[in-house]
Chains A and B, each alone.
Chain A
Amino acid sequence: MILKICGIVRIPPLSKIRFILLQNRQGKTRLAKYYVPLEESEKHKVEYEVHRLVVNRDAKFTNFVEFRTHKVIYRRYAGLFFSVCVDITDNELAYLECIHLFVEILDHFFSNVCELDLVFNFHKVYLILDEFILAGELQETSKRAIIERMSELEKLE
């Protein structure tokens, strides 16, 4: 699928996940991981649009919205929106699970995680994310395994 608006860079239909965003209700991005090449200006546009899409939806609505030629699966945890952009053909429920798994891991790692934790430990969050998803594909689905990995890595520091 070719992203219509992004005229500068053609996005190869390679990764299942295109990007993951963590944004708060005001629109500030707390985490942005892109698995496709995008220019800076494009990234900003994307973040802005996704935020607008997601923040206006009622809690009773479905957790999936169409975004350009893809889908965004999102869920709100306290004041943060976790948004994952995937292909149209992807299984939405599976990615909802994926988001929940990520949140659970963060919770375990930071002991009752809150937004501030994510702000001050952004590199750790990235680390966890990298263990979790590689090149846009979900690679580890066991919470235990990831936490073990992380503790190993911590020891190396």
Chain B
Amino acid sequence: MASSNSLMDSLFQRSLEDLIKGLRLGESTFISRSLEEIRREIKLTDLSTKSVALQKLSYLAALHGVDMAWAAFHAVEVVSSSRFAHKRIGYHAIAQSFSDQTPVMLLITNQLRKDLNSSNEHEVSLALECLARIGTDDLARDLTSEVFTLLGSSKALVRKKAIGVVLRVFDKYPDAVKVCFKRLVENLESSDPQLLSAVVGVFCELTAKDPRSYLPLAPEFYKILVDSRNNWVLIKVLKIFAKLASIEPRLAKKVADPVCEHMRKQNVGKSLLFECIRTVFSSLSDQETALKLAVAKIREFLVDDDPNLKYLGLHALSIVAPKHLWAVLENKEAVVKAMSDEDPNVKLEALHLLMAMVNEDNVTEISRILMNYALKSDPLFCNEIICSVLLPCSRNSYEIIVDFDWYLSLLGEMARVPHCQRGKEIEHQLIDIGTRVKDARLELVRVSRALLIDPALLGNQFLYPILSAAAWASGEYVEFSKSPYEIAEALLQPRTCLLPDSIRAIYIHSAFKVLVFSLGAYFSAQQPTSPPLAQESTSSGHSMVNGFTYNSISSLVNMIELGLCSLSGTIDVEVQERAKNILGFIGMIKHEIAEKATSQNSETEGHRAIAFMEDVFSEELGPVSSTAQEKVPLPEGLELNENLEGLQEICREVLEPMAESDYSSDKVSFSVAKLRIRDQEEASSSLPPPLESSSLLAEHRKRHGLYYLSSQKSEDHNDREGNDNNTSNEYPPANEISVDSFKPKKKISKPRPVVVKLDEGDEPKRKPDASSSNDESLSRAIQTALMGKGKGKEKEKEIVKENHEMNVDTENIEQSSRREKKNKKNGERSSKRSSRRQRGKEASVTKPVEVPDLLL
């Protein structure tokens, strides 16, 4: 702030060039100094000074992140100048800095109007550009008539820009359609390619949002498709047709020919060729000739050296893969070659294509190859590979897996891949397979044991979910294990202190299950009549189970006690509670074991206690559908409609302990949760039973009879006998899955499995409400403009119906996925992107009813 400088400053304003030069020499202080200067200069009345200051400010704002919102009013001043140079600077500043919140927005309306009506086409174009960038609802509304005039201007340049602006105006102010649409359509017949390109561009955007409204314009577009020689225009028209043809199949037939014509041309530009191919693949794939031609052309792309073309070729193939897998199979070598390309994009596309090709016969081979790749790749790609192997294999309840033993060992292998970060998915699948596929449980326990015993794995935090699944499986299916002692030891090894508490709790609980099982075996070993055990000793591995001697059982008990002693004082209540439970149980049972060795009395306290505990764990846990809650028929006497406020007190007591302890670990024993729910039921049914409930139930059944199960049993009213047969009514008959009976399994309808884990968050299934109401009014306006008044109302109803159809559609997707048969190998397997969207829809549809397993 030297005073000597200020004289210089006031006499000579720094121009933009000086500013830039100064910036290049030294940064931050220079910026703040310049800003001060600018602030001073911009307040002066001389428009030239103002505009230079504004220009400098724009520069700083654009490239150095300086805020220029405070200069909004000055920008308006500058724009009002009559000199073109000033106007330009002003409009540029406005376009750059104005937003919907700028308070002085109102002030420019008039200025814009003046400039739009100006005879100087450059001023007009400036104004149009500005409007295009900052148009608000008010501006759009106020300036519609000017835009309308300009749409018919004789100067092509102006018309072109007006067309560009129209899109924005339509978006902000749908009623503008009534005024401008006709002129817009007129421009479709123009011969000037630039104009045409602008108009077609506008329609391209409009059809993307709402194709149905623009169907009547198809003939015009067709003419352009056939006549035009300009690649840009053709590409845009193709995009329009892609949207239109997907809703109007007859159009597809008509359009196929011109598209083929374009593809066959000698010197067709690659971009146009690609767009043709893409259009064919996405919307015209039913047209035989077009499809074959496109596939032939795509082959050229795949073998080209240019990585761009290779990538695009693979990308296009992935669009067509779901419906026409033969196209992908034809180009298998190219795909495999692309897997070893250096570019990660190319590799990724190749990977997805490879997985699209997988079916029953080659799944083992392909997985083997991919796992080898995974070991050699960087972490990111490795995880992509793992993910893309997991997904198709688990699709439709493991449709393509024939050999579950092999698949389980593959899952175990994945856990050992160094970069594996897909713990959650693997965990889910391990448990899922365990509950669904009875014959695979032996292998599952074997794999789990291997994972549990290895102390090195406990250090890798990405593997924790897998370890927790392994622990749960080992505990739940301990009857299949060769050595329960080993398992219990692995579960309680000292290194488990590295695990987070929630998983530790699972480990301990599994150890409990192991203990109960062993004790049961030990106690009933003396008894000649022990039917339950006889059932389970189906394989040779079980003969050891019955061989629990006093020594072995007491060493097991002691080991468990030792392992848990230290935990009885931990901070985490989960771990502490379970440790104490087990220790208490052991304390109760210990002397019984000792007694057992000496006495021959079969019916001791110990026996009863053990038998009781065995019962608790003996129910088979099955997979629970996300819609299972809906299927529960209303129990007698349960009033759903009445206000349940009185239950607040009771419910809170019951629900809270459940929420605390069980939420962290999903694998709580099902029966324990059931006990609590039973209490809740009893509490709720203490209300006077009105007669309505049964009639409500009958009504419900009538409407949704499809979803009601044949038997009257609901999950809540299961008997305590621990009989497997009870559960098999509601749950899928997991017993029947084996190598041979794979086909019959599919015929039985199963509850839809929750296969997909949306790690990155849900995708919105439809446009959010705010925009859709706007879009509806826009499409309604367009309908009226195109059809005339008479049919306008019809179209309105159609639109409403269409929205409803969209709702129904997502339901249909759900239904059809439930009843899916295994017959189609290639059909209906979605490619990654479309399936993500579809699954996103499905998942979000099922999300509201998805209940955590334990709450049933």
Known pairs A28-B63, A94-B235, A126-B92 / 14 extra A-B pairs, C-beta < 8 Å: A4-B761, A29-B63, A31-B62, A32-B62, A40-B67, A44-B65, A60-B307, A61-B307, A62-B307, A92-B308, A123-B55, A123-B59, A134-B129, A137-B201
Contact with B along A57-69 (1 / 0, CB 8 A): 0101111111000
Q: Closest 6 A-B residue pairs measured CB to CB?
A: A93-B271, A135-B132, A134-B164, A61-B343, A62-B311, A94-B271
In the complex, are the beta carbons of B16 and A123 less than 8 A apart?
A: yes
A122 to chain B minimum Cβ distance, whole angstroms, is 6
Pair B308/A63 contact, Cβ less than 8 Å? yes
Q: Report yes or no: A120 in contact with B157, Cβ–Cβ below 8 A.
A: no
A134 touches B345 (CB 8 A): no
Q: Which residues of A contact B202 (CB under 8 A)?
A: 137
With a CB–CB cut-off of 8 A, which chain B residues contact A107? Answer: none
Query: Once the chains bind, are B20 and A135 in contact (CB under 8 Å)?
Result: no
Residue B308 contacts which of A62, A66, A130 (CB distance < 8 angstroms)? A62
Spell out B's residues near A (CB within 8 Å): 16-17, 20, 24, 55, 58-59, 62-63, 65, 67, 84-85, 88-89, 92, 99-100, 122, 128-129, 132-133, 157, 160-161, 164-165, 167-168, 171, 194, 197-198, 201-202, 204-205, 208-209, 230-232, 235, 239, 269-271, 274-275, 278, 307-308, 310-312, 342-346, 761, 764, 768, 771
How far, in angstroms, from A2 to B764 measured CA to CA in the complex? Answer: 9
Identify the closest chain A residue to B306 (Cβ): A62
Q: Which residues of A sit under 8 angstroms from B58, Cβ to Cβ?
A: 123
Q: Choose from A12, A40, A139 the contact partner of B160 (Cβ within 8 Å).
A: A139
Structural contact, B165 and A134, CB atoms closer than 8 A: yes
Chain B residues contacting A60 (CB-CB under 8 Å) are 307, 342-343
Q: How far is the CA of A14 from the CA of B169 in the complex (A)?
A: 11
Partner of B122, one of A12, A44, A153: A153
Q: Which of A1-26 contact B (CB under 8 A)?
A: 2, 4, 12-14, 16
**8 Å CB contact of A122 from B59, B85, B99, B342:** B59
Chain A residues near B764: list those with CB within 8 A. 2
**A51 to chain B: closest CB distance in Å?**
14
Chain B residue at minimum C-beta to C-beta distance from A40: B65
Closest to B163 in A: A139
Q: Which residues of B contact A123 (CB under 8 A)?
A: 16, 55, 58-59, 89, 92
A52 at the B interface (CB under 8 A): no
Closest to A95 in B: B271
Interface CB pairs A-B, < 8 A, 20:
A12-B171, A12-B771, A16-B204, A35-B133, A61-B307, A62-B308, A65-B345, A91-B274, A122-B62, A123-B92, A127-B88, A130-B129, A134-B164, A135-B164, A135-B165, A137-B167, A137-B202, A138-B232, A139-B164, A141-B230
Residues of A within 8 A of B (CB): 2, 4, 12-14, 16, 28-32, 35, 37, 40, 43-44, 58, 60-66, 89, 91-94, 96-97, 119-120, 122-123, 126-127, 130, 134-135, 137-142, 145, 149, 152-153, 156-157
Residue in A13, A32, A135 whose CB lies within 8 Å of B209: A13
Q: Are A156 and B201 in contact (CB under 8 A)?
A: no
Bound Cα distance A21, B679 (Å): 64
A64 touches B160 (CB 8 A): no
The answer to whether B171 and A96 touch across the interface, beta carbons within 8 angstroms, is no
A14 / chain B contacts, CB cutoff of 8 Å: 167-168, 171, 205
Cα-based distance from A142 to B160 in the complex (angstroms): 13
Question: Chain B residues near A130 (CB, 8 Å)?
Answer: 129
State in angstroms the CA–CA spacing of A16 and B168 once bound together: 12
| A140: B residues at CB distance < 8 A | 160, 194
Q: Give which listed residue, A32, A120, A134, A137, contacts B63 with CB less than 8 A.
A: A32
* A152 nearest CB neighbor, chain B only: B122
Which residues of the other chain, A, contact B307 by a CB distance below 8 angstroms? Answer: 60-62
Give bound CA distance, A126 to B764, whole Å: 36
Shortest Cβ distance from residue A44 to the other chain B in the assembled complex, whole angstroms:
6
Q: Which residues of A contact B308 (CB under 8 A)?
A: 62-64, 92-93, 96
Instruction: Determine the residue in chain A with the shortest Cβ distance to B61.
Output: A40
Q: Which residue of B lies closest to A137 (CB)?
A: B201
Chain B residues contacting A94 (CB-CB under 8 Å) are 231-232, 235, 271, 275
The answer on a CB contact under 8 Å between A16 and B85 is no
Q: Which residues on B sit within 8 Å (CB–CB) of A43?
A: 65
Interface of A, helix, strand, loop or mixed by DSSP: mixed
- Say how far B169's CB is from chain A's closest CB, in angstroms: 10
- Closest approach, in angstroms, between the C-beta of B773 and any C-beta of chain A? 14
- Asked whether A156 and B85 contact (CB < 8 A) given A58-B343, A60-B342, the answer is yes
B261 to chain A, nearest CB (A): 19
Contacts of B771 in A (CB 8 A): 12
Known contacts A122-B59, A123-B55; is A157 also within 8 Å of B275 by CB? no
CB closest chain-A residue, reference B89: A123
Please, how many angstroms separate the alpha-carbon atoms of A82 and B650 in the complex?
66
Q: How far apart are the CA atoms of A134 and B165 in the complex, in Å? A: 8
- Smallest CB separation, B328 vs chain A (Å): 20
**A40–B64 CA distance with the chains assembled, in angstroms:** 10
Chain B residues whose CB sits within 8 angstroms of the CB of A122 once the complex forms: 20, 59, 62-63
Of listed B55, B307, B768, residue having the most chain A CB within 10 A: B307
Q: How far is A58 from B59 in the complex, measured between Cα atoms in Å?
A: 32
Closest chain B CB from A134 CB (angstroms): 4
Q: With a CB–CB cut-off of 8 A, which chain B residues contact A93?
A: 269-271, 274, 308, 312
> Is the CB–CB distance between B99 and A37 below 8 Å?
yes
Q: Inside 8 A of B270's CB, which chain A residues have their CB?
A: 93
* Complex contact A142–B194 (CB within 8 A): yes
Is the CB–CB distance between A141 and B194 below 8 Å?
A: yes
CB < 8 Å: which of B16, B128, B164, B197 contacts A141? B197
Are A62 and B345 interface neighbours, CB within 8 A? Answer: yes
With both chains docked as a complex, state the minimum distance between the C-beta of A82 and any C-beta of chain B, in angstroms.
15
Flag if A157 contacts B85 (CB, 8 Å): yes
Residue in chain A with minimal CB distance to B170: A14
A97 to B89, CA, bound (A): 29
When distances are taken between beta carbons in the complex, the residues of chain B under 8 Å from A134 are 128-129, 132, 161, 164-165
A92 to B272, CA, bound (A): 11
Q: Is the CB of B168 within 8 A of A135?
A: yes
Is the beta-carbon distance between B65 and A120 smaller than 8 angstroms? no
Most buried by B among A28, A40, A61, A140: A61
Q: Could you tell me the distance between the alpha carbons of A4 and B209 in the complex, rounded to whole angstroms?
A: 19
* Assembled-state Cα–Cα distance A120/B122 (Å): 24
- Interchain nearest-CB distance for B39 vs A (Å): 18
Q: What is the CB-to-nearest-CB distance from B31 to chain A, in angstroms, rounded to a whole number?
A: 14
Residues of chain B lying within 8 A (CB to CB) of residue A127: 88
Q: How far is the CA of A44 from the CA of B345 in the complex (A)?
A: 26
- CB of A74 to closest CB in B, whole Å: 12
Smallest beta-carbon distance B482→chain A, Å: 49
A residues near B167, Cβ cutoff 8 Å: 14, 135, 137
CA A127 to CA B55, docked complex, whole Å? 13
Complex Cα–Cα for A130 and B88 (A):
11
Cβ–Cβ < 8 Å partners of B345 in chain A = 61-62, 64-66
Bound: A144/B405 CA distance, A: 68
Complex Cα distance A17/B185, Å? 23
Which of A29, A32, A66, A92 is within 8 Å of B312, CB to CB?
A92
| A157 CB contacts on chain B under 8 angstroms | 84-85
Beta-carbon nearest neighbor of B195 in chain A: A139
Residue contact B271 to A30, C-beta cutoff 8 Å: no
CB distance from B529 to the nearest CB of A (A): 64
Tell me which residues across on chain A come within 8 A of B311, comparing CB atoms. Answer: 62, 64
Given known contacts A2-B764, A32-B63, A126-B92, A137 and B164 CB-to-CB distance under 8 angstroms: yes
Q: Is the CB of B171 within 8 A of A137?
A: no
CB closest chain-A residue, reference B282: A89
Contact partners of B194 in chain A: CB under 8 A: 139-142, 145
Question: What chain B residues lie within 8 Å of A29 (beta carbons)?
Answer: 63
Q: How far is the CB of A47 from chain B (nearest CB, A)?
A: 9
Whole-angstrom CA separation of A95 from B168 in the bound complex: 22
Q: How far is the CA of A68 from the CA of B270 in the complex (A)?
A: 27
Given known A35-B133, A94-B232, A134-B129, contact A61–B201 (CB-CB < 8 A): no
Contacting residues, chain A, for B201 (C-beta < 8 A): 16, 137-139
Q: Which residues of A contact B342 (CB under 8 A)?
A: 58, 60-61
